[in-house]
Amino acid sequence: MRILKGLLVLFLVLAVAAIGVGLMLPDQAKVERAVVIDASPATVYTVLNGFHQFNRWSPWADIDPQTVYTYSGPLVGVGARSAWSSKDPQAGSGDQEILEATPYTMVKVRLRFEGMDMDNLLTYALAAEGASTRLTWTYLSDFNGNLLNRYFGLLLDRMIGPDFDKGLSKLKLFAESLPREDFTALQPEVVQVEPKAIVHVAGEAAFEAAAPVLAASYGRIGEFVAASGRRGVEAPITITHSLDAERYWKFDAAIAIDQPCTPPAEGDALQCGKSYGGWVVRAHHLGPYATMDRSFASLAAFKKVAGLEDNGEPWQQYVTDPMNQPADSLLTLLFAPVK
């Protein structure tokens, strides 16, 4: 009985000591690693500013091939969210959400693990080093006063530091394999657009000779819109159906209107319909129409870097009037539907 009492006293002393030590331990823990990547800050930022590429470099992606991933919110940027669920206790379940994103310097991500009472913040900080990028990956965990988690924090760097090293090595290889196209001049944004009532006319021509065909199409559309009591609400657009290697262009010339319409007659070339609604990459082309294919190539590079897939036919919107503006200052918005 005396021995049992002694053990009980010892246990209480150790428990009090453990609590006392725990109260003095930091309520946060940090893991930080860095790597230099032979790619531009824009490329690295675009890979990190969403979750479509995450498993291409994540050090944890191969723990459980049966892990289920779901995505919600915007495709990229603030509010983009990825959740994972696994029956493997090593992978567990949880979610990530982008809280802040500053092109092309920083992305902050909230990380949550199911069943764990702690707040976790991932920060990806980017800085140019010549033509390369120094990426610093920081993991800050706040234990919210939990004493057990404070002890866990003492081992955090030893436990996941090697994973950070592995992830950065994989990210370096992946980012360096991506297109090196500089797409920053396009100011690409991933936004949602609403479908609109449109009047459209099909046309085709060599790309360099399409201007008179488009002008005639927009003239026909304008006459119909005025006669039907509708009103154009946006700058004219062309929806590209195909542009082949010989630069022969098949398209629809279209104008968005304030309310739906009915075609003037069955079989008429002029049609009424709706424009695309959903996620798009919107980019800015400044300059002559003849150089627009260079901007579309840069736009394609952005989509590949971001891990976005095509989801429909692209279109362009002529913001400035070529009759009133010099060619070098023409602004055209480019739209590429994505998912």
Q: Residue 272: in which H helix or E strand, if any?
A: strand 270-274
pLDDT tens for each residue of 177-203: 999 999 999 999 999 999 999 999 999
d(CA 125, CA 137): 7
pLDDT at 143: 65
Is residue 176 classed as helix, strand or coil in its secondary structure? helix
pLDDT at 310: 97
d(CA 77, CA 242): 30
Is residue 240 classed as helix, strand or coil in its secondary structure? strand
Is the predicted pLDDT of residue 232 greater than 70, yes or no?
yes
Work out the average pLDDT over 303-314: 97
Residue 332: pLDDT band with limits 50, 70, 90:
very high
pLDDT at 284: 97
pLDDT at 269: 87
Residue 149: pLDDT band with limits 50, 70, 90:
low
Across-strand partners of 123?
Answer: 108, 138
Of the segments 135-144, 157-166, 257-266, 274-283, which one has the largest average pLDDT value? 274-283
Least confident range of 68-77, 137-146, 245-254, 316-325: 137-146
pLDDT tens for each residue of 47-99: 999 999 999 999 999 899 999 999 999 999 999 999 999 999 888 899 999 99
**234-258 b/e (C-beta count within 10 Å ≥ 16 → b):** eebbbbbeeeeeeeebebbbbbbbe
Work out the average pLDDT over 152-165: 74
pLDDT at 324: 82
Cis peptide before 248 (omega within 30 of 0): no
Q: What is the mean pLDDT of the chain?
A: 88
pLDDT tens for each residue of 17-37: 334 444 454 567 788 999 999
Residue 141: pLDDT band with limits 50, 70, 90:
confident
Work out the average pLDDT over 95-116: 94
pLDDT at 246: 87
d(CA 192, CA 198): 18
> What separation in angstroms does the CA of 137 have from each of 46, 100, 101, 116?
15, 15, 14, 22
Q: Residue 172: in which H helix or E strand, if any?
A: helix 156-176
| 208 compared with 241, residue with greater pLDDT | 241
pLDDT at 116: 72
d(CA 231, CA 226): 7
CA nearest neighbour of 315 among 239, 242, 214, 254: 239
Is the predicted pLDDT of residue 3 greater than 90, yes or no?
no
Query: For the chain, which domains are there?
Result: 28-178 (3.30.530.20), 186-337 (3.20.80.10)
Is residue 235 classed as helix, strand or coil in its secondary structure? coil
Is the predicted pLDDT of residue 152 greater than 90, yes or no?
no
CA torsion 110-116-117-122 (nearest 10°) is -20
> What separation in angstroms does the CA of 298 have from each of 136, 181, 294?
27, 6, 6
pLDDT tens for each residue of 201-211: 999 999 889 99
CB-based contacts of 291: which residues, under 8 Å, 6+ apart? 285
